[in-house]
Amino acid sequence: MEDYKLTKFNNGLRVLTVASKESLSFQVVVFVNTGFDFENKKENGLSHFLEHLCFKGTEKRRSNFEITKELDSLGGIYNATTSSECTYYWVRLSKEHKEKALDVVSDIYLNSQFPEAELEKEKKVVMEEINMHQDDPKLYVWELWPKLLYGDQPIGRFGLGTKENIKNFSRKDVMNYYRSQYKAKSTLVAISGNFSDKEAIQQVKKYFSSIPLGQGKRKENIKEKQTKPTLLVKEKETGQTHFVLGFRGISLKDKRRYALDLLDAIFDGGMSGMLFQLVREKLGAAYYVRSYIEYFTDHGFWVVNAGVDNSRLEMIIKSILQEWEKLKTSKISSADLNKAKNYIAGRFALSQESVHNRADYLASREILSGKIETPREYLKKIKAVTLGDLKKTAGEIINKRLLNLALIGSIKEKRTLLKILNNY
């Protein structure tokens, strides 16, 4: 599970390889260290828009149809994703077509032409994607949450951008952002599946030989300031209220995250966890409910996300906060801690079963933090967490001063909700 190789070229491009002779497939993922957090207000939505446009034609493959037909004819799967701190493009084919995967994904990454006509058409597509998010309360609540925590900062803005921005983006805007961010030192190529390392490195050198030198602009430092609980409500006639409730958390680099992962495993470790047993089994209050930790390079959060009956919202919020308080004030037993450690080890092993998942995990650590923490290293640190570590971390994170609630639904009375938060 630890077998990988990280190669750094003189131009700064990194290549991570994870080989498996048993695999029937070959995958290449190109990670570039840019995303929503790297945009100024005028650029908001540009990272994601650029990702869409990279599939609209290159010098070699003149249209989206030529790109997709070539991959579909081989039974390939492919896509791209933009997040807060990373954009990535990937292609997976059968092992017989490994060079084709590198050829296509490098062509998309390095040689996209961003034709004017396609740019104008894709604006309509992205606006429909924005409409989809705003029409679906389950999705839209995740637009409210960062806005509540971070306000008018890059991370606080909706990653897809505003419709006004999308309408105003020009080909020049796209090209300027592309040239600024898509550079060798900001890029990592992750290769996984059935191949030889030597051959893979040679082919990356071949297909990425023209990658621009340098490094993309850095993201802005996040500013976090909170002294009391905060609330953000979006009123909308819905059959359920969808909410995100939780605390400002810690970054990917914070040593407390191993203890926090274990606290979350105790709180929401599957169907036997405190949260599921409370909300789903005891109260019968939700179809979906989960706790969720997000670690970014310089900030994070720990939340509960659920969709509940409008009339029971206040009771459910109170109940979840009480359950969190139990985690903070009640004595956690050694048996609870061992169960949580076994839960994490088991889930982690399952998540790493695929060679492609292993490569994605290792590559994401390298591109975000500049250092790979292997699965064995991670689990060793999980195993070392003590009951004292749990108590200390719970006391620092489960804190009224860091508490926030974002929700969307048929909410007429906000004062009661704010009172619940302040009385926590």
- Mind listing the pLDDT tens digit for each residue in 302-350? 999 999 999 999 999 999 999 999 999 999 999 999 999 999 999 999 9
Shared-domain flag, residues 71 and 169: yes
Residues 257 and 180 in one domain: no
- The pLDDT tens digits of the residues spanning 10-65 come to 999 999 999 999 999 999 999 999 999 999 999 999 999 999 999 999 999 999 99
Query: Is position 65 within any domain?
Result: yes
Q: What pTM value is reported for the model?
A: 0.95
Same domain, 203 and 234: no
Looking up tokens 């003189």 gives 10
Catalytic residue among 39, 43, 51, 85: 51
Structure-block tokens of residue 247: 């605390």
In a domain, 271, yes or no: yes
238 in the same domain as 189: no
Asked whether residue 213 is domain-assigned, the answer is: no
d(CA 3, CA 17): 9
* Residue 187 and residue 244 share a domain: no
Sheet of 77-82, strand order: 5-8, 14-19, 187-193, 25-32, 87-94, 77-82
Residue type present at position 74? L
For residues 268 and 380, state if they share a domain: yes
Overall number of domains in the chain: 2
Q: Which CATH number fits the domain that encloses residue 340?
A: 3.30.830.10
Contact 212, 184 (CB under 8 A): yes
Catalytic residue check, 323: no
Based on the fold, state whether residues 104 and 252 are members of the same structural domain.
no
From 3, 372, 360, 14, select the one nearest 201 (Cα to Cα): 14
- Considering the domain architecture, whether residues 190 and 247 belong to the same structural domain is answered as no
Residue-number span of the structural domain to which 191 is assigned: 5-207
Number of Cβ atoms within 10 Å of the Cβ of 297: 17
Spatial separation of the C-alpha atoms in residues 404 and 319, rounded to whole Å: 15
- Clarify whether residues 256 and 295 are in a common domain: yes
The partner residues of 234 in beta bridges, in order of sequence, read 408
Do 194 and 19 meet the contact criterion of CB atoms below 8 Å apart? yes
The answer to whether position 225 is within a domain reads no
pLDDT tens by residue, 75-125: 999 999 999 999 999 999 999 999 999 999 999 999 999 999 999 999 999
